[in-house]
Amino acid sequence: MTAYAELMIGGLMSGLVVGLAALAITLVFGIARFANAATGDTMTAGAYVALSVSGATGSVIVGGLVGALAGAAIGVVVYFLIFRKLAGRSSVANLLASIGVAFIIRAIVGVIFEHQQQVFQLPLVRPWRILDIRVQPSDLNLAIVAVLTLATVFLILYATPVGRRMRAVADDPGLARISGISPTRVMIALWALAGSVSAVAGVMYGIKTVVTPEMGWDMLLPAFAAAILGGIGHPVGAICAGILLGTIQEMATPFVGFTYKLAISFVVLLIVLLVRPSGLFGRNEGAR
């Protein structure tokens, strides 16, 4: 029983990271209407910025905050340079452009920070034992960070004027425009938000694992899977799907082994899409 509980905690933590990345993807999809493949590399860039700043200041929290700001800046810059020009083009054109953006970000990260792996210099601590279940203090910290990030995102989306405008644009861009909502300002807010969420996901992933220029790109597939499972364009769905996939994957390992655990999450994705083609939380409204 304790073994399962520990597997679940592990899955929950992996799921939170995947879920945050999926949230960034789904935010962009909901409003700009394309799958942003640069999400992974924005994660990487955020992690590297956080790593440098925390190395210089000695505080991972300051590093993480600056990393999130850098992620927002990257999002906005990328929007102005690329995606603003591509507005109105097909989602495939935008997707391909975002893959190009991903390559460029990764190349810049590689040149600046080199390719050797780096780690956040955090003390490794032995776990607490709660009911004989191993709970790691660092996991608790990361979970708090994830919850704070989610709370901020949902506050912005549901309790601020700009969030309301973003949701309006997501709902019906034409109607939003004739109601006097400036698309550019919504887009800036969107890209800043998505960029900083990506960066936070990257920092969390970097703290859990190692920081390399490829780390974000490697996360892209699970994050896409979670975004689709949650119902693409649906923020709550992305988070829930990330956590669901993460925990199912880990809890299945005693039965299917480790080499097939990735396959398990895609089997779950398949089954859900067969039953509910719009994803767990997606609305049935045909082509979105």
Q: What is the CA radius of gyration of the chain?
A: 19
141 binds other proteins (CB under 8 A): no
Torsion-angle region of 131 (φ positive above 0: left; ψ -120 to 50: alpha; else: beta): left
| 109 vs 144: CA distance, rounded Å | 28
52 vs 152, which CB is nearer to other proteins? 52
The only residue of 173, 209, 236, 267 in contact with other proteins, by rule CB under 8 A: 209
Residues 52-81 that bind other proteins (CB under 8 A): 52
131 binds other proteins (CB under 8 A): no
- CB 91 to other proteins: min, Å: 25
- CB 222 to other proteins: min, Å: 8
Residues 222-261 that bind other proteins (CB under 8 A): 246, 250, 253-254, 257-259, 261
- Contact letters (x/-) for other proteins, 18-57, by CB under 8 A? x---------------------------------x-----
| 147 vs 30: CA distance, rounded Å | 22
- Helix or strand run (H / E) with residue 212: none
Burial class (CB in 10 A: 0-12, 13-18, 19+), 217: buried
116 binds other proteins (CB under 8 A): yes
What does the block give as tokens for 206?
Answer: 């970097």
Could you give phi then psi for residue 211, rounded to 5 degrees? -100, 115
Torsion-angle region of 117 (φ positive above 0: left; ψ -120 to 50: alpha; else: beta): beta
The only residue of 1, 88, 125, 180 in contact with other proteins, by rule CB under 8 A: 125
Q: Would you tell me how many other CB atoms lie within 10 Å of the CB of residue 148?
A: 11
- Contact window for other proteins (CB under 8 A) among 4-12, 26-34, 88-96, 225-233: 4-12
178 binds other proteins (CB under 8 A): no
49 vs 190, which CB is nearer to other proteins? 49
Instruction: Using alpha carbons, select from 25, 28, 23, 21 the residue that is nearest to residue 47.
Output: 21
| Distance set, CA 249 to CA 28, 239, 288 (Å) | 26, 15, 28
* Residue in the block written with tokens 């996991």: 139
163 vs 206, which CB is nearer to other proteins? 206
The only residue of 57, 114, 151, 179 in contact with other proteins, by rule CB under 8 A: 114
| 192 vs 249: CA distance, rounded Å | 31
What is the sign, positive or negative, of the torsion defined by CA atoms of 220, 209, 49, 125? positive
94 vs 249, which CB is nearer to other proteins? 249
- Helix or strand run (H / E) with residue 170: helix 161-171
236 vs 251, which CB is nearer to other proteins? 251
257 vs 286, which CB is nearer to other proteins? 257
- CB 232 to other proteins: min, Å: 22
Residues that bind other proteins (CB under 8 A): 3, 6-7, 10-11, 13-14, 17-18, 52, 110-119, 121, 123-127, 134, 136, 138, 205, 208-210, 212-214, 218-219, 246, 250, 253-254, 257-259, 261-262
